[in-house]
């Protein structure tokens, strides 16, 4: 288990409990009472810590190396997944995965950013940062879903679109823009789940939908706290303040009217119990689909357009 | 060490030549000096090297609309600090300073007017206002301009110049990308033409939404156009960027703009396109 800096006290207690168990086993002495007491203490500490997370701490949880990624959720909540590859123009981008699968008995199109777990796969997946062909593959698959009238489930988890030379040559901006336009009028339900990092346009590029669900420790913002710190504070040292200022948590986005539902995670984060995290997320997706599936395409598209029409904050003054 | 200092303060130069400020212009591209009227006649481009000086909505409206035909709308939309955003300065203070310095209320103005006798909707961004960044008001004004173009069947022109989505409105800014792109889908369904004019610089969330979605994309010569900024890309690849990278001509070569048009030809080009699309 990987621990974050602010989890240190919890890690220490957990370690102590482990040691006492070993001690009890090897010496045969009865330490049950002592272990119970420590168990209660660590549980209290966990609750106190995880109920009062700062925004920056949530960003750390969203980036936790053990956090479940798109393919983990696909395997945990669907069956018969067939991955489809390539944008039919240039290449297959491993930073975005997608395909058809069964979700609670019906066929759905799943698509999402994909990060790697070890050094090699992280590089292969470009840390979940797509190139234009990734967005174009996603759009190809979503149009396939529209053609065969299958609902779409999209998983967002990227630090951002890949800021590379070739990405620019192949039209990163155009690829994202095209997806925003086309997703706004796909005639099938789209349920978007922010499961980790919602890194700006790179996340939104597969994130326009009818229902936006967001796990409680995910973040979603126009810029990462680090880059925001670098630009506005002209230093990399203000990421905590930047995270606070950006109001990037699920709770913040729910209050801003951007996220429709906050999806709970197991105490300590989704990585503590991926099965449970997947169950909670699947439950929320199912509820969203149940609401959306009876709607005819015209209603779906009209309501989706109205949803995005309302977003933002401004005042109207006639002086 | 006081021998070079003035012993008296407040000495005034007695004769002051009455030269109006900024009568002569030094080109930022080639450092040539030329007269302001010459510069204005050439749509604020250098008569020597063709450098396109960055200009704002005021100048573009004057450049595009037939005399006195332009009429601004939705000027009453004002920004608010919904997040209570504070970095080294509060966002509210940044807004007030930008408004005072530029005389503008936001980073985009929208207007309806005649271009060689044909009515069109023009939305023009102002880089001078917080880097032309797109917050809620920019998104909303663009969205309403698109709505009006659709409802009245008037061709739409958006002139972009922007560093991207505005950080100080965080996810609200981000969602303006989706909002404006969704509106453009409606415009497309109504078969109303949209001409996107990309000027220096157009990057980030603006490029990755409405600026790239024109039926025709037109770029000004030398304009920097991209998603990620050059500095970020340099960091990623760890080496220098090729010459001309992310410039208008580079985008033309790679197939992302239809044409690179000198600013002196912009009005004629747009009028011609409107005629071809609607004629």
- Domain count within chain B: 2
Of B76, B87, B208, the CB nearest to A233: B87
Residue A97 in contact with residue A80, Cβ under 8 Å?
no
Q: Are residues B43 and B60 in the same domain?
A: no
The pLDDT score that the predictor gives to residue B204 is 97
Asked whether the beta carbons of residue B182 and residue A178 sit closer than 8 angstroms, the reply is no
Tokens of B20: 């109006």
CATH at B261: 3.90.226.10
Measured between beta carbons, which residues in chain A are less than 8 angstroms from residue B245? 165, 168
Is the same domain home to B20 and B118? no
Which of helix, strand or coil describes residue A93? coil
Backbone angles phi, psi at A154, to 5 degrees: -115, 135
* Chain A interface test: which of B170, B206, B226 (most A C-beta within 10 Å): B170
In this prediction, residue B25 carries a pLDDT of 85
Q: Which residues of A touch B135 (CB under 8 A)?
A: 312
The CA distance from A249 to B171, in Å, is 10
Chain B residues whose CB is inside 8 A of the A180 CB are: 177-178, 181-182, 208-209
B129 closest CA partner among B167, B98, B158, B89: B98
Predicted confidence (pLDDT) per residue in A7-33, tens digit: 999 999 999 999 999 999 899 888 899
What would the pLDDT profile of A259-298 be if each residue is shown by its tens digit?
999 999 999 999 999 999 999 999 999 999 999 999 999 9
Q: How high is the pLDDT of residue A29? A: 85
Check whether residue B109 and residue B216 sit in a common domain. yes
Distance CA A87, CA B28 (A): 42
Instruction: Return d(Cα B57, Cα B59) in angstroms, integer.
Output: 5
CATH of domain A59-309: 3.90.226.10
The SS3 assignment for A222 reads: coil
Please give the torsion angle defined by the CA atoms of residues B41, B225, A309 and A252, in that order, rounded to the nearest 10 degrees. -130
B270, with CB counted inside 10 A (0-12, 13-18, 19+), is buried
Q: Do B60 and B18 fall within a single domain?
A: no
| Pair B46, B179 in one domain | no
* Rounded percentage of chain B residues whose pLDDT exceeds 90: 83
Nearest to A228 among B167, B189, B236 (CB): B167
CB of A297 within 8 A of CB of B56? no
Average pLDDT over residues B65-79: 96
Indicate the residue of A177, A241, A313 with minimum beta-carbon distance to B136: A313
Q: Are residues B15 and B82 in the same domain?
A: no
* Reduced 3-state DSSP string for A265-285: CCCCCHHHCHHHHHHHHHHHH
Tens digits of residue pLDDT in B29-65: 898 888 989 889 999 999 999 999 999 999 999 999 9
Question: Nearest C-alpha of chain A: how many angstroms from B77?
Answer: 5
Q: A306 touching B, CB under 8 A?
A: no
Could you tell me if B46 and B122 lie in one domain? Answer: no
B234 in the same domain as B141: yes
Q: Are residues B136 and B269 in the same domain?
A: yes
B186 with B174, same domain: the answer is yes
Domain boundary among B10, B34, B53: B53
Specify the higher pLDDT residue, B4 or B255. Answer: B255
Alpha-carbon distances, residue A252 vs A107, A219, B177 (angstroms): 33, 10, 19
Residue B141, pLDDT above cutoff 80:
yes
Tell me which DSSP letter residue A117 carries. Answer: S
- Furthest-apart CA pair in chain B: how many Å? 77
The pLDDT of residue B1: 47
Residue-level pLDDT at B3: 57
Q: Which two tokens stand for residue B130?
A: 């917080």
Q: For residue B12, what pLDDT is reported?
A: 58
Structural domain of B16: 1-53
Give pLDDT tens digits for B142-178.
Answer: 999 999 999 999 999 999 999 999 999 999 999 999 9
Question: Chain A: residue nearest B136 by CA?
Answer: A312
Query: pLDDT-based confidence at B4, cuts 50/70/90?
Result: low
Same structural domain for residues B120 and B75? yes
Structure confidence by residue, pLDDT tens digits, B102-113: 999 999 999 999
Q: Which two tokens stand for residue A80?
A: 């018969």
| Mean pLDDT in residue range A242-251 | 98
pLDDT digits (tens, 9 = 90+) for A172-227: 999 999 999 999 999 999 999 999 999 999 999 999 999 999 999 999 999 999 99
Domain boundaries, chain A: 5-52, 59-309
Of B131, B84, B89, B71, nearest to B106 by C-alpha is B131
Does residue B32 sit in the same domain as residue B66?
no
Q: What local confidence, expressed as pLDDT, does residue B34 receive?
A: 87
Give pTM, 2 decimals.
Answer: 0.94
Residue B15 confidence (pLDDT): 57
The predicted pLDDT at position A1 comes to 73
Instruction: State ipTM.
Output: 0.96
Q: Does A164 contact B233 at a Cβ distance shorter than 8 Å?
A: yes
Per-position DSSP letters for B192-254, written without gaps between them: --EEEEEEEEE-HHHHTTGGG--SEEEE-TT-BB-SS-HHHHHHHHTSPPPTTTTBHHHHHHT
């Amino acid at each position: 288990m990987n621990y974050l800096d602010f989890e240190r006290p919890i890690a220490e207690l957990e370690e102590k409990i482990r040691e006492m168990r070993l001690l009890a086993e090897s010496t045969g002495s009865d330490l049950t009472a002592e272990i119970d007491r420590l168990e209660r203490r660590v549980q209290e500490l966990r609750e106190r810590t995880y109920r009062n997370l700062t925004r920056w701490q949530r960003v750390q949880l969203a980036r936790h190396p053990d956090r479940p990624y798109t393919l983990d959720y696909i395997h945990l909540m669907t069956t018969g997944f067939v991955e489809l590859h390539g944008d039919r123009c240039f290449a297959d981008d491993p930073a975005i995965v997608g395909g058809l699968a069964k979700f609670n008995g019906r066929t759905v199109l799943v698509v999402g950013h994909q990060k790697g777990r070890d050094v090699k796969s992280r590089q292969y997946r470009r840390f979940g940062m797509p190139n234009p062909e990734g967005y174009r593959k996603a759009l190809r698959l979503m149009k396939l879903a529209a053609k065969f009238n299958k609902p779409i489930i999209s998983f967002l988890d990227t630090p951002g679109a890949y800021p590379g030379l070739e990405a620019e040559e192949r039209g990163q901006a155009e690829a994202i823009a095209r997806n925003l336009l086309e997703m706004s009028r796909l005639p099938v339900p789209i349920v978007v789940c922010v499961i980790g990092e919602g890194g700006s346009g790179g996340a939104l590029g597969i994130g326009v939908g009818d229902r936006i669900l967001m796990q409680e420790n995910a973040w979603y913002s126009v810029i990462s706290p680090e880059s925001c710190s670098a630009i506005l504070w002209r230093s990399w040292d203000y990421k905590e303040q930047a995270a606070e200022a950006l109001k990037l948590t699920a709770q913040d986005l729910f209050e801003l009217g951007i996220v429709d539902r906050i999806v709970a995670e197991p105490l300590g984060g989704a990585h503590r119990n991926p099965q449970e995290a997947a169950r909670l997320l699947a439950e929320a997706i199912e509820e969203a689909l149940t609401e959306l599936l009876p709607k005819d395409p015209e209603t779906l598209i009209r309501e989706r357009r109205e949803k995005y029409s309302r977003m933002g904050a401004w005042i109207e003054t006639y002086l | 060490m006081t021998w070079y200092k003035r012993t008296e303060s407040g000495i005034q130069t007695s004769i002051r030549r009455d030269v109006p400020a900024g009568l002569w212009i030094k080109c930022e591209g080639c450092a040539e000096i030329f007269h302001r009227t010459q510069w204005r006649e050439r749509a604020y481009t250098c008569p020597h090297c063709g450098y396109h000086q960055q200009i704002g909505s005021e100048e573009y409206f004057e450049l595009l609309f037939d005399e006195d035909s332009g009429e601004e709308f939705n000027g009453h939309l004002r920004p608010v600090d919904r997040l209570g955003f504070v970095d080294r300065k509060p966002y509210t203070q940044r807004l007030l300073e930008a408004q005072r310095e530029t005389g503008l209320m936001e980073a985009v103005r929208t207007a309806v007017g005649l271009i060689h006798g044909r009515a069109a909707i023009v939305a023009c961004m102002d880089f001078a206002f917080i880097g032309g960044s797109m917050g809620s008001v920019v998104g909303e004004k663009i969205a309403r301009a698109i709505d009006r173009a659709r409802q009245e069947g008037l061709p739409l022109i958006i002139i972009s110049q922007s560093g991207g989505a505005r950080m100080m409105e965080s996810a609200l800014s981000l969602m303006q990308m989706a909002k404006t792109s969704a509106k453009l889908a409606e415009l497309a369904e109504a078969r109303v033409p949209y001409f996107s004019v990309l000027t220096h610089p157009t990057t980030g969330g603006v490029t990755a939404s409405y600026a790239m979605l024109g039926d025709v994309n037109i770029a000004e010569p030398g304009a920097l156009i991209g998603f990620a900024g050059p500095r970020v890309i340099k960091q990623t690849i760890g080496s220098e960027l090729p010459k001309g990278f992310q410039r208008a001509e580079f985008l033309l070569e790679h197939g992302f703009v239809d044409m690179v048009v000198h600013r002196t030809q912009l009005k004629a080009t747009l009028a011609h396109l409107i005629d071809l699309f609607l004629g």
